[in-house]
Amino acid sequence: MPIASEDIDQHGLVIGVSPERFREVAMPLLFDHLDAQCEGTIAVNRQARIVWINDKYAEKVGIADPRSVLGQEIEQVLPASRLREVVQNGQPSMLDLMAFGDEHFVVTRIPLRDADGTLVGALGFVLFDRARHLQPVMAKYNQLQSQLAATQRELAKARRARYTIAGFIGASAAASEVKRQARRTAQLDATVLLRGETGTGKELLAQGIHNLSLRANGPFVAVNVAAIPESLVEAELFGTAPGAFTGAERRARPGKFELADGGTLFLDEIGDLPLPLQAKLLRVLQEQEVEPLGSNQVKALNVRVIAATHVDLEAKVASGQFREDLYYRLNVLALRLPPLRERREDLPALLEHLLDDIASRSGQPPLELATDALQLLQAQPWPGNVRELRNLLERAQLLADAGSLGASSLAGLLVDPRPAAAPTTPAQTITPTTGEVRPLADSLAAAERQAILAALAACDGNRTRAAERLGIARASLYNKLQAHGL
């Protein structure tokens, strides 16, 4: 029964009508008003299937007959609709932007409940067509969308592997064999373990394997396990749930495994993975699912793992520092990268490639090496392999005069990282020698560099043990390695 005119006083207030009666009469009027003023209205049931759509909305989205979409799931008609979320959580969405084709609609969504409060569906209203009433907001929104798209493109580019197997320079028997094995490995979607001394090109080969595999269009994510503080390794690899620990972000943070989903994850220095996390890594490899730190939900993954190490994993297994079951899970396809001293015939080609690359990056003309300089380099043991060779050439490029670089000039740049042998003669008094006196800062830097090299050599390149021997934190050691160009 409608409200009569005599029930309304001079101020427009309803008199003598109960609140229930008022809601009963007012709600249909409110709906009719919204339906008339809005650019479109749609309703879904508890299963998020369309039960009603008005003619204006149907025309706006190109539906000739509104009855033709009744019973369809809302996403089939409006892919960007979030009415299903409103039905599921019962929470209204008072103001939102919904994309449809090249347009954006300003919409509101409200849940529908029956008399006893049971959720029965949801209503969606298009408040403004093409958001023409919100031009300043839309301009800012479009700007942010453009910035987000540019950032996503840069991230995707950063997670692309740059190198191919052909980038592993060398035509020696050892180099040719490792490239042959790498090409075969690329066709097999199994876990790979790359073994070799530091500086032999393990990450380069990992990128080459990825680029030749069926995952080439997916991301390539590299992480150096030894470079992450032990307390953060789990969060970096497996991600964190919101507020997982004190200081953690309030939103979920994906780990490296999630970032590599659909592609390849390169785990360098896998031998330095803390023992408590080795069991979790084993489960991820076996089940292809990850459980973020602080979460009780697992996420399915599709990731290929390529691990690398320069340490003797078998010795670590024997000493209880590395899980035997994880070792076998990683050692499915194993490739050994030969050190530079085992393929000296590749040195001329490597020198040509490195000198051209260094010159290109520095903007200087390529450095020329005299015959005696090449012979000197051929005779070196190269414990740091190609990385050490590149470091030497970069310093030579910066310090050398124009023209050819001879052996005499190059000899002063060579550094023997091995610790000095213990004296075989009784200790004697050392008297200062005359000659040029270097600044104290240079002498201290040289002594520090020599001490770091000696510690690394004594610890077989293990940075953690080298830092302990030097009495400094591992992070400090990494800073010093970078400062000294090591």
pLDDT in tens, 375-397: 999 889 999 999 999 999 988 88
Q: Can you read off the two tokens belonging to residue 247?
A: 């200081």
Residue 26: its pLDDT value, please?
60
Residue 423: its pLDDT value, please?
41
Helix (H) or strand (E) holding 387: helix 385-399
Query: What pTM did the predictor assign?
Result: 0.58
Q: Can you read off the two tokens belonging to residue 217?
A: 């269009």
pLDDT category at 427 given cuts 50, 70, 90 is very low
Percentage of the chain surpassing pLDDT 70?
80
Which of helix, strand or coil describes residue 54? Answer: coil
Choice among 72-86, 220-234, 301-315, 431-445 with the minimum mean pLDDT? 431-445
Residue 476 confidence (pLDDT) above 80: no
Give the closest residue to 40 by CA, choosing from 125, 101, 97, 122. Answer: 125
Q: Can you read off the two tokens belonging to residue 466?
A: 């080298």
Residue 197 confidence (pLDDT) above 50: yes
**Average pLDDT score over residue span 93-115:** 83
- What domains are there in the chain, each with its CATH number? 38-129 (3.30.450.20), 160-242+252-336 (3.40.50.300), 343-414 (1.10.8.60), 443-484 (1.10.10)
Residue 137 confidence (pLDDT) above 80: no
Contact 175, 204 (CB under 8 A): no
In terms of Cβ atoms closer than 10 Å to its own Cβ (0-12, 13-18, 19+), residue 146 is exposed
Rg of the chain in Å (alpha carbons): 34
